[in-house]
A and B are shown apart, each in its own frame.
Chain A
Amino acid sequence: MTLTAQDLLFYILGGLSLASALGVLLMTNPIYSALCLALTMVSLAGLYASMQAWFVAGVQLIVYAGAVMVLFVMVLMLFDLKSEIKAFSRGAVAGFMKLVAVGLMTGAFLAAIYNSADTLLGTSLAAHVDGTVSTKALAQLLFGKYVFAFEAMGVLLLIIAIGAVALSRIEGGTHADE
């Protein structure tokens, strides 16, 4: 039972991702929320890399921390939002109920994880996975076993691109009849 480098990395990156996720929740200025979310994405990419999922870590950095976050920040800058006065929903009772609901759900998750710890031990781990080999195996999965799902994703992205353009060009916005 020694603290290896990967264990240390887990606690540092995990703590960082939890702290920045709380930042997304608690910051009243949306642009700070977006920056906290970017930090969460980057620390999760570090966690993926520490679990030897090299290609997914790279894609996480490029797609999430890059493209998706740029989309969010760009739209926020378009809106020019200031710090919000009523950032959180009203109602003390409703807020308490929401907290209780999320707490119960998390408790159920943690209890399930705790109780199944013995059956979830997993196989013996390779200390170091060759990135070239694992990326090749991933590509063979994506273009072999999951090739139809992969092509369907391409069609979905095309539909989404057309839909997003059509949506932002509706005459009179989304409330045309008012």
Chain B
Amino acid sequence: MPMNSLIDVGLSHYLALSAALFAIGMLGVLMRRNVIVMMMSIELMLNAVNLTFIAFSRFRDNMDGQAMVFFVMTIAAAEAAVGLALAVTIFKRFREVNIRYFEHLKG
């Protein structure tokens, strides 16, 4: 990504944006204590990966990337459903959804 092509948006620009979004999502998972906000940050990371898939699909002219995005979206929806069900059961007992209550789960 040479400096003189800063206005000539190409694949590198989309990849850089995706890397930045992924980093923000990772910071969210590491720094926040609320389980729901942590799961939102995971969604953010998955979305950053999706952006990479779409960018490669566009700039390499290959539809397989778009098919992959569907699978990532399905996994993300499944993860959100199970994670939120866990958060609800934690909240029923502790009236809070802090990550420290996940330390000693019993099945």
Is B47 a contact of A142 with CB atoms below 8 Å? Answer: no
Residues of A within 8 A of B59 (CB): 120, 122-123, 125
Nearest CB on B from A170, distance (A): 6
Bound CA span A129–B88, Å: 44
Interface residues on B, range: 35 or more
Chain B, interface SS category: helix
Is A53 a contact of B66 with CB atoms below 8 Å? Answer: yes
Nearest CB on A from B21, distance (A): 6
Is A95 a contact of B31 with CB atoms below 8 Å? Answer: yes
Bound CA span A114–B75, Å: 30
Bound CA span A145–B34, Å: 40
Residues of B within 8 A of A165 (CB): 85
Residues of A within 8 A of B26 (CB): 102, 105
* A positions within 8 Å CB-CB of B: 1-3, 6-7, 10-11, 14, 17-18, 21-22, 24-25, 30, 33-34, 37, 40-41, 44, 47-48, 51-53, 55-56, 59-60, 63-64, 67-68, 71-72, 75-76, 78-79, 81, 84, 86-89, 95, 98-99, 101-103, 105-106, 109-110, 113-114, 117, 120-123, 125-126, 134, 137-138, 141-142, 145-146, 149, 153, 156-157, 160-161, 163-165, 167-168, 170, 173-178
Is A72 a contact of B36 with CB atoms below 8 Å? Answer: yes
Q: Which of A44, A71, A101, A146 contacts B84 (CB 8 A)?
A: A71
Residues of B within 8 A of A2 (CB): 7
Residues of B within 8 A of A22 (CB): 24
Is A18 a contact of B19 with CB atoms below 8 Å? Answer: no
Nearest CB on A from B19, distance (A): 4
Residues of A within 8 A of B27 (CB): 25, 98-99, 102
Residues of B within 8 A of A110 (CB): 16, 19
Nearest CB on B from A23, distance (A): 10
Is B78 a contact of A56 with CB atoms below 8 Å? Answer: no
Residue of chain A at shortest CB distance from B84: A75
Bound CA span A86–B40, Å: 18
Residues of A within 8 A of B37 (CB): 24, 30, 33, 87
Residues of A within 8 A of B71 (CB): 146, 149, 153
Nearest CB on A from B69, distance (A): 5
Is B12 a contact of A113 with CB atoms below 8 Å? Answer: yes
Bound CA span A71–B82, Å: 11
Q: Which of A71, A89, A146 contacts B81 (CB 8 A)?
A: A71
Bound CA span A103–B27, Å: 10
Residues of B within 8 A of A37 (CB): 40, 43-44
